[in-house]
Every structure is written in structure tokens, then in C-alpha cells.
Amino acid sequence: MSPFRIVIAGGGIAGLTAAIALRGPNRHITVLEQSSLNKEIGALVSLQPNASKIIQSSWGLKNELHGAREMVDEGFRIYNTDGKLVNTIPLLARTIYGSERLLFHRRDLHDVLKEAAVSPNRKGEPAVLRVASRVVGCDAVAGIVALEDGERIEADLIIGADGIVLRKHVLDSEPCAMPTGHSAYRLMIPTKILEEKEPEFCAKINPRDPFTSMIVAHDCRLVMGPGRQGEVYGIVALVPDDQMNEDPHAKHSWVSKGDLEKMLKTFADFPTWVTEIFKHSPDLGLWQLRDLDPLTNWHHGRLILIGDAAHAMLPTQGQGASQAIEDSEALGAFFEGVTEAPSFHALTETLEKEQNIFQTRYARVSLIQAYSRQAAKPATDKGAKLVKMKPDEFMDYNCKYSGAKQWRLEQLAN
């Protein structure tokens, strides 16, 4: 019986969760990661209830997530520039959605997922993770992935979790991501440093409290929260491009470096009790937020795109990583029971046939993309059709998700 050979291009959250979801009898899974160290940068990442439910319940990784020092986000707190709390929005996620919104240091989450993908103690064969393996092309119909060093790897299923190279093998032309008019600085500060060096800030906003805190002023937005059970404090600072003191168009990648002195100039109108904390971040990232319309297709032949490769979205709903996890769950659900290499016809039917992976995922993810764009207005207001849901209704839409097959049945019933 020929094994089901699966090659996953990309060793980030999307690629590793796809490997976890697809593990099973007689399956050979190879994850190709272009970096040599397979390390994630320092930043906070959130898993919304729709995703934390999948990882903890469907994949049985609740204890592992706890070991990654997750924070349960209890809600949102909004402060004015005097440090006065003006609104609290509790997030009763477990009561309403059956799971919590979890905050992680990105590296900790990545390590948990990597271990689950390659562990010999889970069902199916462990995935093989190959680092320093840059994918430069593929033959989607023949099922061949080409690496930079000339190696060619055959696969029955190719999963594009890194879309820069593989999108062109699905689409007629590469889509162009357009600037939204906003950029984002990214900071990560040890909480002990804040408590020792910035008592005024800590007296107003306790960096160990399990809440996402926001300050909105001067057309800028600070979104802040704890990670590693209060050990670190993460900040994302959203800034209009026309207020930047450095060139946002040169910062396409979210791992680009920012300039602290220029950031301080940008936030000069903010009170010093806020801006003084910026200098304590060991690293400062800056990336221009770019928007991408929904792709017309995600798959061709034996290749399917997932995660940001298929549906890059703005961070305003915090659903980017969570939607990648939903994609992975869908792959596992629709290939469940496949224990030998599927024929080309059977595989492409699973990818594209009505009621299967693409049709199940496309409408939902495209709507979440649209709402994420809408939530970032006016920067992204290009006359797009509005999503006619109130925020609480859309929160329900996001978080009451219970897996791809159940979702498809509910949509057909409606």
C-alpha cells in the first residue's frame, strides 16, 4: 500500500498545524522551512476561541499549551491619555464559546506546535521537519516541489503555507498587496523592567493584568497585553503612514526593523508616562499594513494554499493565526480515513468539490478578511461593500465555529 506523501512548504503556525492535523497511518509528512534555525521572532500572538478550541480539544494539546505559559485574556480595557480607565469589555469566552482567547509569546506557541508535529508519541508517523530548505517552485499537477539546491521532492499533496513562491502556481497572476495607510510598530518589554524603571506607567496600567489594554489618541492606537503569564508585555502601535518619521513603504515585512528615535518623534504628542516605556524593548519591529483582496482560488492540481498564503488579513480582528488553524483542521477533517496515496482525481475532488475544503473555507474566511478591513477604517475604506454585522454578532460568527464539517452542515441547513 503506497503511503500518502504530503509536503508542506512553510514551517510557521500554518505549516506546523497542518502537519499536526494530517498525521495518520501510512502518511509521510515533510515540512520544508526556508530558515536555518526554524525560530520564530519575539512577538505576542493570540488564539481566538475558535482556534484554541481546535488545538485543545480536537488535537489534545491542552496541557502542552499550558506549558507554553499562555495567558487567558479576560477582556479589553480602554484608557485615555491621562491613564484613566474609560471602558472595560469583559470577554466571557469560555462561557459563551466553550474556549478562551489565549495569548502567547509567538516562539513558545511555535515550539509547542513543532514538538507536536514531530513527536513520536502522537498518532501516525512523526512529521519530518527540514530546515534550510527553500522552496523555489513546483509542478502542481505532477506533484513535485523544487528546492533551491536543485533537489526535487515528489508528493501526492502539496500544502503552500508560505505563499510568496507558490501562489503563482495557483493563480494566473500574483496579487498586489496595497498599503492601507497605516503601519505598525511592534515591541516586547520584560515586565520586571517596567516595574523597576516605569512605576508611573505600572500605577496606571498593571502590565501583569490579563487584559488587552488600548489607548487611542492623535489618530494612533496602542494595543498592549501580557504574555508568558505576565513575564513580558507586548505592544503594537498603529500609526497613520502620513504621520511616520521613517519611510513606511520600505517596511514590507513584519520582521523589518524600526527606529526608536523616529518612533518617539511620531508619538511626541503622547504623554511621557506612555512613551518612556518604548525605550525598554530590546527589539523594535515596524511593518506597513498591506491589504489583499480575497484570492479567486486557492488550489491547482495537487497544490492547495492555506493561512496567509491563501487569505492574508489585517490584524484588527486577531484572526490571522486562528484562520490558519481552521484551515489545518479542515485538511485533517476532509482527508480523514485516507490511508494510502489518493489518485489525482480523488485528491482534486477533495480539494475543490462542493462541500469539501475550498468551498467550505472560502466564504467564511473571505468574510472575516472583509470585516478585518472594515474594522481598520478609515485607512482601508476603498468603497468596499460593508459587512452588515454588529461587533458582537461578528464575534459570535468568528468564535462559535466547531470545525469544518460541522460548519458546512450548518451552512447547508441555512
The pLDDT tens digits for 207-245 are 999 999 999 998 899 999 999 999 999 999 999 999 999
Q: Where in the chain is the domain with CATH 3.50.50.60?
A: 4-43+55-67+106-174+297-413
pLDDT at 132 over 90: yes
pLDDT at 379 over 50: no
pLDDT band at 157 (very low <50, low <70, confident <90, very high): very high
Residue closest to 361 by CA, chosen among 322, 319, 393, 404: 404
Distance CA 407, CA 53 (A): 14
What percent of the chain is modeled with pLDDT above 70?
93
* Mean pLDDT computed over every residue of the chain: 89
Q: Where in the chain is the domain with CATH 3.30.9.30?
A: 178-291
Own/partner pairs, 110-113, CB within 8 angstroms, 24+ separation: 110/12, 110/13, 110/16, 110/39, 110/40, 111/68, 112/61, 112/64, 112/65, 112/67, 112/68, 113/13, 113/16, 113/17, 113/20
Class in CATH terms, 4-43+55-67+106-174+297-413: alpha beta
Residue 38 or 304, more confident: 304
Residue closest to 267 by CA, chosen among 221, 329, 333: 221
Mean pLDDT of the 179-187 span: 89
Distance CA 223, CA 236 (A): 5
pLDDT at 148 over 60: yes
pLDDT at 383 over 60: no
Mean pLDDT of the 58-85 span: 93
In a 13 Å sphere around the CA of 161, the CA atoms on its Cβ side amount to 29
pLDDT at 186 over 70: yes
pLDDT band at 247 (very low <50, low <70, confident <90, very high): confident
pLDDT band at 386 (very low <50, low <70, confident <90, very high): low
Burial 368-404 (b: 16+ CB within 10 A, else e): bbbbbbbebeebbeeeeeebeeeeeebbebbbebbbb
- The size of the chain, in residues, is 414
Report the pLDDT value the prediction gives residue 354, as an integer from 0 to 100.
Answer: 63
Would you say domain 178-291 falls under CATH 3.40.640.10?
no
Judged by average pLDDT, the poorest of 32-41, 81-90, 270-279 is 32-41
C-alpha cell at 70: 499562555
Query: Parallel, antiparallel, or unpaired for β 157-160 and 178-190?
Result: unpaired
Q: In a 10 Å sphere around its CB, with 0-12 CB exposed, 13-18 middle and 19+ buried, how is residue 277 labelled? A: buried
Mean pLDDT of the 293-302 span: 91
Instruction: Tell me the backbone φ, ψ of residue 235, rounded to 5 degrees.
Output: -135, 135
Residue closest to 222 by CA, chosen among 232, 231, 210, 234: 234
Instruction: Tell me the backbone φ, ψ of residue 354, rounded to 5 degrees.
Output: -55, 140
Mean pLDDT of the 322-338 span: 95
C-alpha cell at 108: 513558545
Q: In what order do the strands lie in the sheet with 75-79?
A: 85-90, 75-79, 212-217, 220-227, 232-240, 178-190, 284-291
C-beta atoms surrounding 147 within 10 Å? 19
pLDDT at 314 over 90: no
Mean pLDDT of the 244-261 span: 81
pTM: 0.92
pLDDT at 381 over 90: no
pLDDT band at 380 (very low <50, low <70, confident <90, very high): very low
Report the pLDDT value the prediction gives residue 378, as an integer from 0 to 100.
Answer: 53
For helices 357-375 and 391-399, angle between their N-to-C axes, nearest 10 degrees? 150
pLDDT at 37 over 90: no
Distance CA 227, CA 103 (A): 6
